[in-house]
């Protein structure tokens, strides 16, 4: 992750690092624009438009099996990786992630997230990803309870909580799914874990503050960024809203 200058917030934050627990220091919010909402004919240009403001690039990989949609795969990720210095946040909505996930780490992805519903041994795959040089993320879909996976979180760097049903962009945000974020944040704080809690689905100017207040600190935004007249400014606004709504130590 590239360093970023501290920012201030009208809500009174100092723009620096926050500690939720007194022991674990949580950095400023991450905004990860999803290229699922970008113009696929101009992916490199679309990503360059947000290079100076985005923290990560979110890459949705769908296989038409685990989810009904089909998007991009490893060759596109490899090509795009050479076009930007931004860290890649790869979200695998695929069957058999144990087979395919390490390839994305080898391709230079910063963070590789796979779905708990698609993997019978998430901890083993997390170890494989870390051995390959990537951060390991665990995704929880809309209809999956989070409680069975809380004890696995020390093995992960990111917990991605879907705030829609995985598989399609442009869906409406489901507010009651933030209960999972609150549960996860309480567990992370109680265990003093260094873990990003990421939300994905319907994140926009009217929803990001609620997600941040619930305890999320990484935000996937597709249409809200690439559907804006000025994508870079859209990222700035989303981050500002998240910073102002984040819980204070």
Considering Cα of 204, then 209, then 214, then 217, what sign does the dihedral take? positive
Strands 57-62 and 88-93 come out as parallel
d(CA 31, CA 9): 16
Residue 184's nearest CA partner among 141, 151, 206 is: 151
Establish whether 200 is a catalytic residue: yes
d(CA 133, CA 179): 32
Establish whether 14 is a catalytic residue: no
Q: Are 1 and 55 in contact (CB under 8 A)?
A: yes
Residue 135's nearest CA partner among 95, 116, 108 is: 108
Q: Which residues on neighbouring strands pair with residue 70, listed in sequence order?
A: 63
Query: Which one from 63, 89, 128, 200 is the annotated catalytic residue?
Result: 200
Q: Are 114 and 138 in contact (CB under 8 A)?
A: yes
Query: Which one from 55, 60, 63, 210 is the annotated catalytic residue?
Result: 60
Q: Are 167 and 119 in contact (CB under 8 A)?
A: no
Residue 197's nearest CA partner among 206, 205, 186, 171 is: 186
d(CA 137, CA 200): 13
CA distances from 143 to 60, 64, 114, 176, 180 (A): 19, 19, 16, 11, 11
Catalytic residues: 60, 200
């Amino acid at each position: 992750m590239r360093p970023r200058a501290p920012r201030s917030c009208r809500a009174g934050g100092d723009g620096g690092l926050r500690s939720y627990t007194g022991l674990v220091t949580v950095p400023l919010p991450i905004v990860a624009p999803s290229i699922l909402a970008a113009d696929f004919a101009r992916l490199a240009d679309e990503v360059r438009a947000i290079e100076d403001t985005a923290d990560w690039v979110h890459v949705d990989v769908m296989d038409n099996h685990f989810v009904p949609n089909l998007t991009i795969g490893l060759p596109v990720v490899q090509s795009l990786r050479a076009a930007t210095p931004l860290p890649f946040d790869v979200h695998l909505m695929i069957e058999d992630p144990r087979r395919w996930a390490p390839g994305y780490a080898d391709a230079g992805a910063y963070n590789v997230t796979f779905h708990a519903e698609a993997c019978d041994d998430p901890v083993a795959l997390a170890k494989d990803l870390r051995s390959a040089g990537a951060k390991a993320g665990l995704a929880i879909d809309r209809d999956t309870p989070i409680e069975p996976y809380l004890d696995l979180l020390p093995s992960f760097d990111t917990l991605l909580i879907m705030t829609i049903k995985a598989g399609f962009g442009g869906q409406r945000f489901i507010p009651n799914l933030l209960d999972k974020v609150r549960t996860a944040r309480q567990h992370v704080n109680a265990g003093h874990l260094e873990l990003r809690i990421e939300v994905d689905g319907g994140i926009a100017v009217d929803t990001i503050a609620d997600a941040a207040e619930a305890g999320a600190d990484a935000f996937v935004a597709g249409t809200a960024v690439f559907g804006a007249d000025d994508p870079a400014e859209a990222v700035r606004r989303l981050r500002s809203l998240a910073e102002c709504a984040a819980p204070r130590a």
